[in-house]
Amino acid sequence: MFFGLFGKRKKEPSRPADPLAAFDQLIDNLDRQAAEVRKSAATLLALKADLTRAQSRYARRLEELTSRRATAKERGDVHAVRVLEKDQAQAEDLLASTREALERAETDGRLLLEAASELGDRVAELRRERESASARLTAGGIVTQALRERVARFDQALVVDAARDEVERAHALADIYREERKEQGD
C-alpha cells in the first residue's frame, strides 16, 4: 500500500570489484576532465588572440578619432567635434572593456593551464601507482598459488604419513594375530 510513495532511492555509483579497475576508472575520469580543461584553455587562448587584435584595432581607432577631432577643432567645426568626442568616448569604452576581457582571459587561461598540468601530473602519478599495484597483485597471486601448492604438498605428506601409520598398524595387528595363532597352536 505504501510502496513507491517515498520515491526511488539514488543508486550509488558502483564500485568495481577489481582494485585495478578502480584505478582505471579514476584515471579515465581524470583524463576526461583534463581534456575538457585543455579544451577550455585552448578556447581562451583563441579568445585572447581575438581580443588582442580588437585591442589594437580600438587603439588605432582611438588615435584616428583623436587626430580627426584635433583637425575639426582647428577648423572650428563644433558639430564635428561633438560627434568625434562621442565616437572617441565609445572607442575608449570599447578599448577599456576589451582590455578587461583580455586580462580576464589571460588570468583564466593561466589558471586552466595550471589545472591541466596538475591533472596531468595526477594522472601520471595514478598510472605509476596502478602499475605498482598491478605488480603487487601479481606477486601476491604468485605467492598465494605457491602457498596453495605447499599446502597441497603438506596435505599429501600427511596422507602418506597416515597411510604409513595404517600399514604399520596392519603389520602390528598381523603380528598380534600370528602370535595368537602360535599360542593357540602350541
Q: Domain containing 62: what range?
A: 20-133
Give yes or no for residue 29 having a pLDDT over 50.
yes
- In whole angstroms, how far apart are CA 81 and each of 21, 76, 77, 85, 88? 73, 8, 6, 6, 10
Give per-residue pLDDT as tens, 50-84.
999 999 999 999 999 999 999 999 999 899 999 99
pLDDT for res 65: 93
Q: Say whether pTM exceeds 0.85.
A: no
Total domains in the chain come to: 1
Give yes or no for residue 170 having a pLDDT over 60.
yes
If pLDDT is split at 50, 70 and 90, which confidence band does 132 have? confident
Residue 181 included in any domain:
no
Residue 164 included in any domain:
no
Give yes or no for residue 147 having a pLDDT over 70.
yes
Residue 123 included in any domain:
yes
